[in-house]
Amino acid sequence: MEMFNPPHPGEIVREDCLKPAGLSVTAAAKWLGVSRQSLSELLNGHNAMSPDMAIRLEKAGWGSAESWLRNQLSYDLWRAKRRAAFIKVKKYPLPRAAA
């Protein structure tokens, strides 16, 4: 089932991981082994969830890497479908079957 307006994975990390743990962006970045800027850009929806970050979150005990990447894919696909009305593609004529 397609989700209507799925949240950016960074929003999920902020709301479901950092807030309940009482972690600041700086503390979480240090704990995850990434720069504060990198984590901040993810949390604010400016960067996508990378496979590397997904693995770091999995190792931290915050879900599986696969689920984080599925969340990112759902978010990206939803946004692309919203822009689909503006995408112009010509249909490629398929060859007719030989008789």
Mean per-residue pLDDT, 50-75: 98
DSSP H helical segments within 2-92, as ranges? 9-12, 19-21, 25-32, 36-43, 51-59, 65-83
Q: What is the pTM of this model?
A: 0.83
Instruction: Look at 96 and 82; give whichever has higher pLDDT.
Output: 82
Residues 6 or more apart whose Cβ sits within 8 Å of residue 55: 65
Domain ranges of the chain: 9-82
pLDDT of residue 38: 98
> Are 49 and 67 within 8 A, CB to CB?
no
7-50 pLDDT, tens digit each = 999 999 999 999 999 999 999 999 999 999 999 999 999 999 99
Q: 9-82: what CATH class?
A: mainly alpha
Mean per-residue pLDDT, 57-61: 97
User: Phi/psi of residue 46, each to 5°?
Assistant: -90, -20
